[in-house]
Amino acid sequence: MARFIPSLPQLFMLIGMGLMIYILWRRSNRHFGKGGTAYRPQRRVSALEKGRDLALCDAPPEVTRWQVEMHETARDLKAEVDTKLALLQILIQQSNSAAERLEQAIAIAEQKGIRTALDPLAAIDAWREDDADAPPSPPAELAPPQSNAIYVLADQGYSAASIAHETGLPLGDVELVISLRAH
């Protein structure tokens, strides 16, 4: 009987096919083996996550629920803080632009020869002292008939609250008109 002796190319082909069968067999065992679950590579977990997971692994469900609620609350608060921070940045930008406009208005006033007060409160006090002889006038939005109605009701002894109710005006306006009349 003649013996079969494979040639070198046939030998390499048999070794390659055997190696491919072995690799496919190993992969199929990983994929279909061990309870029929698919092979999933394990995600690397940091020591911090391991400690956090172990800290609450035997905790009652109420504690776990509480932890979830705390995380949601923290996320909501962070969102609110971020929103308020964005609004604050917008307000800062608006105030900066308003300050620039005021500076431009002051520069224009100085160019036109309009004198600006170094201390605005002192300028207001000086203005009030100049007009001390003139009788105070009621607020501009109150027409004389309304202020006259307030004076008539005040003369009849009505309180400021009842005058405000009768005339339909705000209590502050009524009190202002009464106080201006007293001067």
Whether 57 and 112 map to the same domain: the answer is yes
Cα-based distances in Å from 87 to 36, 94, 95, 177: 55, 11, 12, 39
Tokens of 154: 């005040």
35, part of any domain = no
Whether 52 and 102 map to the same domain: the answer is yes
17, part of any domain = no
Q: Give residue-wise pLDDT tens across range 38-93.
A: 555 566 666 556 556 566 667 788 888 888 899 999 999 999 999 888 888 988 99
Confidence of residue 21 (pLDDT cuts 50, 70, 90): very high
- b/e map 131-156, b = 16+ CB within 10 Å: eeeeeeebeeebeeebbebbeebbee
Q: How many domains does the chain have?
A: 2
Quick one: pLDDT at residue 42?
A: 65
53, part of any domain = yes
Q: What span, in angstroms and rounded, lies between the C-alpha atoms of 181 and 183? A: 5
Quick one: pLDDT at residue 27?
A: 87
Whether 92 and 145 map to the same domain: the answer is no
Q: Give residue-wise pLDDT tens across range 97-117.
A: 888 888 888 777 777 777 655
Whether 50 and 113 map to the same domain: the answer is yes
20, part of any domain = no
For residue 155, the enclosing domain spans 139-183
Quick one: pLDDT at residue 175?
A: 86
Instruction: Check whether 19 has a pLDDT greater than 70.
Output: yes
Radius of gyration of the chain measured on its C-alpha atoms: 44
Cα-based distances in Å from 116 to 103, 107, 129: 12, 10, 18
Confidence of residue 31 (pLDDT cuts 50, 70, 90): confident
Whether 111 and 167 map to the same domain: the answer is no
13, part of any domain = no
Instruction: Check whether 180 has a pLDDT greater than 90.
Output: no
Report whether 150 contacts 174 (CB < 8 A): yes
Quick one: pLDDT at residue 17?
A: 93
Q: What span, in angstroms and rounded, lies between the C-alpha atoms of 108 and 147? A: 39
Whether 113 and 143 map to the same domain: the answer is no
Residue in the block written with tokens 């190696």 = 19
Confidence of residue 15 (pLDDT cuts 50, 70, 90): very high
